[in-house]
Structure 1
Amino acid sequence: MVTCFLKYKINPVKIKEFENYGKLWIDLVNEMGGLHHGYLLPHEGANDVAYASFSFTSLAEYEVYRNKIPDSPKCMEAIAYAEQTQCFISYKRSFLKPVFEGISDQAKLFY
């Protein structure tokens, strides 16, 4: 499994628009074979930073998803919405390997 982790620099006066943008992509990622883990919007602290993450079974499956985006009218609408509203300024994308099991979940302990 690979998780795409996004850090957005958002327009703080367009948080509602960014939230709507996020909701569009939650549905799109899930429809296209991924598992979206949601968006984290500003609440306290910095008002111009938001996060999102979603997973695919492999980096190859993520690439399949990325290649489908230009041919998807719904994806193109979501991208156009972001451009129209200017709800975010930039983003950084990282790929991470999630760890879900603790030591107690393993058959043998090695420490």
Structure 2
Amino acid sequence: MITCTLRYEIDPDQLDAFEVYAKAWIHLVDKLGGTHHGYHLPHEGPNDIAYCHFSFPSLAAYEDYRTRMDQDPACRRAYAHAQATKCIRRFDRSFTRPVLTGASVEELGL
């Protein structure tokens, strides 16, 4: 499994528009075969930083998603919304491999 994390710099005056964008992408990622782990919007601290996390079974599956996403009319509408509202100033994308199961210190030999 591979998880994509997006760190957004958003326009705080367009938070409602960004939330609309976020809700659309949660649906779109799930529709296109990923597992969305949600968006995390500013609450305390900086008011212009947001995050989202979603996963695919492999990097190849993510790359397939990117290809299909480029052709999907609903994805294009979501991007157009962000451009029209200017709710996103910039973003960074990184990939990680999640560790989802824990073990006792005894099991780990600690």
TM-score, scaled relative to structure 2: 0.95
Matching residue of 1:26: 26
C-alpha offsets along residues 56-98 of structure 1, whole Å, 9 cap, x if unaligned? 0000000000001121000000010110010010000000000
**Structure 2 SS opposite 1:16:** helix
The one-letter amino acid of 2:108's match is L
Report how far residue 108 of structure 1 moved.
Answer: 4.1
SS of residue paired to 1:46: coil
Partner of 2:54: 54
Identity of aligned residues (%): 50
Matching residue's letter, 2:30? N
TM-score (norm 1): 0.94
Q: How does 1:33-72 map to 2 (within 5 A)?
A: 33-72=33-72
Alpha-carbon shift at residue 109 of structure 1 (Å) = 2.7
Q: Structure 1: which 4+ aligned runs deviate by more than 3 Å?
A: none
Deviation of 1:41 after TM superposition, in Å, equals 0.4
Q: Which residue of structure 1 aligns with residue 74 of structure 2?
A: 74
SS at match of 2:90: strand
Which SS does the other structure have where 1:4 is aligned? strand
Aligned length: 110
5+ residue gaps, structure 2, are: none
Uncovered stretches (5+) of structure 1, i.e. residues with no partner: none
What is the match of residue 7 of structure 1? 7
